[in-house]
Amino acid sequence: MCGRFAVTLPPDAMAQLFEASPANDLPDVPNYNVCPTVNVHVVTGGASGRRLMPMRWGFIPHWYKSPTDGPLLINARAETVAEKPAFRLACRERRCLILAAGFYEWTRTPEGVRLPWYISRKDGAPMIFAGIWQDWGRDDPRPTCAIVTTAANTDLSGIHERMPMIVEQADWPMWLGEAGRGAARLMHPGKAGLLDWWRVDPAVNSNRAAGAQLIERLVED
């Protein structure tokens, strides 16, 4: 799964990377502790070109009467995203890319203590997650999104059984629907050897924590 991540790339660099038109109300960066329900940086495709825009991280099905009318849907499993009533139409028609520098995951000690890890790309490139999105609300529609997850690859299986689906640059057009059909073939854990990970300070266990120190490698005694 993915329940927390970091984003550091400036918006103008994001727009240049994706050749996308940026919105004026993008979230502030850097943010080393992106939490569910906040706005995140999302790229969409379409006939008018790619757009870089803010979306609420937490997909809201159209039948919810309020954002808290049911479970908080921050992730969508690749194995079932095309079948679940909440996600299936978005999976066919509204796929997106969600930008990150890396994400956090937790393990537990035998005593139940949560130990945070930070996971990023070895090559230092931005980490681009597969996402789905839809507008929610009638009077003032609000775009909302979820991160698609897969089974963990051999890199991360020792930390968690799930991971975000990472989309490589060559596959962006396929996932965004710009290159025709075939996005389903992208829904796999991805090749091993792409990622690096290290323990970080438990301060990130709090959703109020902030600052670049959250992703620094923890030096243990």
- Would you please indicate which residues are annotated as catalytic (active-site) residues? 2, 105
Residues 6+ apart with CB under 8 A from 108: 114, 115
| Cα Rg of the chain (Å, integer) | 17
For tokens 């309020």, what's the residue?
Answer: 66
Q: Are 41 and 35 in contact (CB under 8 A)?
A: no
Distances (CA, A) of 50 to 93, 177, 196, 208: 15, 11, 30, 32
